[in-house]
Chain A
Amino acid sequence: GAVVSQHPSRVICKSGTSVKIECRSLDFQATTMFWYRQFPKQSLMLMATSNEGSKATYEQGVEKDKFLINHASLTLSTLTVTSAHPEDSSFYICSARYGDEKLFFGSGTQLSVL
């Protein structure tokens, strides 16, 4: 299958700082990438859809100023959690669309805000 690389895998930061997470499609070009959030023992919740060269589309209830998404190239999307607080602690996962339908996921980023 197609490979999606996500970094970092784990990050610990102080409250009030910003954290950037990178998502790269390694062997294919992805015009659309998605960002999900997952709490322990729960399902994946779609946060936003990232389209190359345009603004991201956020799901209802997701603060666009808190979660900044940039999709500057066909192989890279970034999620920046701005002014992080403990309630932002979670497992963040990106995915990239391969072809018309298939989504391949990155390995996830565990964010812990102290």
Chain B
Amino acid sequence: GENVEQHPSTLSVQEGDSAVIKCTYSDSASNYFPWYKQELGKGPQLIIDIRSNVGEKKDQRIAVTLNKTAKHFSLHITETQPEDSAVYFCAASLGADGLTFGKGTHLIIQP
């Protein structure tokens, strides 16, 4: 089955700086890669996603890049703000299958 590795497990950045979280996947057939933000005690919130036929997607301060050859994808958050502090999960799936999640990254925005 699919295996998703996510790094780093914890990331601390100064407010206003950029944050980058990286994930790799094992199944080259996977074709959908979403990113979720989870706050304490809440369910994951979809923040951005990308399909395998696209290399990059941007939504305001958030962007995702995908390298199919290397089987890795990354989340980029620019101009970080305190409310960006949360746990971020990458995931991968193939078609109608359920998502396989990475282990998560605890993002801490230092004021």
Cross-chain contact of B98 among A34, A106, A110 (Cβ < 8 A): A34
Spot the interface stretch: B11-19, B44-52, B62-70, B76-84.
B44-52
Chain B contacts of A106 at CB under 8 A?
43
Taking the nearest CB of chain B, how far is it from the CB of A14, in angstroms?
23
- Closest Cβ of chain A: how far from B32's Cβ, in Å? 5
A-contact bits for B10-45, CB 8 A (1 contact / 0 none): 000000000000000000000010101000011111
Whether A105 pairs with B98 at a CB distance below 8 angstroms is no
CA distance A43 to B88 in the complex (A): 10
Q: Are B49 and A44 neighbours in the complex by a CB distance under 8 Å? A: no
A103 touches which of B41, B42, B46, B51 (Cβ 8 Å): B46
Q: A93 near B34 (CB under 8 angstroms)?
A: no
The verdict on A44 contacting B93 (CB below 8 Å), with A34-B98, A101-B32 known, is no
Supposing A102-B49, A103-B99 touch, asked if A44 and B41 sit within 8 A by C-beta, the answer is no
How close is A31's CB to chain B, nearest CB, in angstroms? Answer: 9
Cβ-based interface call for A46 (8 A) = yes
Partner of B101, one of A1, A44, A97, A101: A44
B41 & A105 in contact (Cβ 8 Å cutoff): no
Looking at the assembled complex, report how far the CB atom of B43 sits from the nearest CB atom of chain A, in whole angstroms.
4
Name the contact of B43 in the complex, choosing from A1, A6, A32 (C-beta under 8 A).
Answer: A6
Tell me which residues from 72 to 114 in chain A have a Cβ below 8 Å from any Cβ of chain B: 93, 95, 97, 100-108, 110
Q: Which residues of B contact A42 (CB under 8 A)?
A: 103-104
Option from A1, A4, A43 in Cβ contact (under 8 Å) with B104: A43
Instruction: Say yes or no for A25: interface residue by CB 8 A criterion.
Output: no
CB distance from B26 to the nearest CB of A (A): 15
Complex Cα gap A105–B87 (Å): 15
Contacts of B32 in A (CB 8 A): 101
List the A side residues contacting B89 at CB < 8 Å. 43-44
Q: Are B98 and A102 in contact (CB under 8 A)?
A: no
Q: Are A32 and B96 in contact (CB under 8 A)?
A: yes
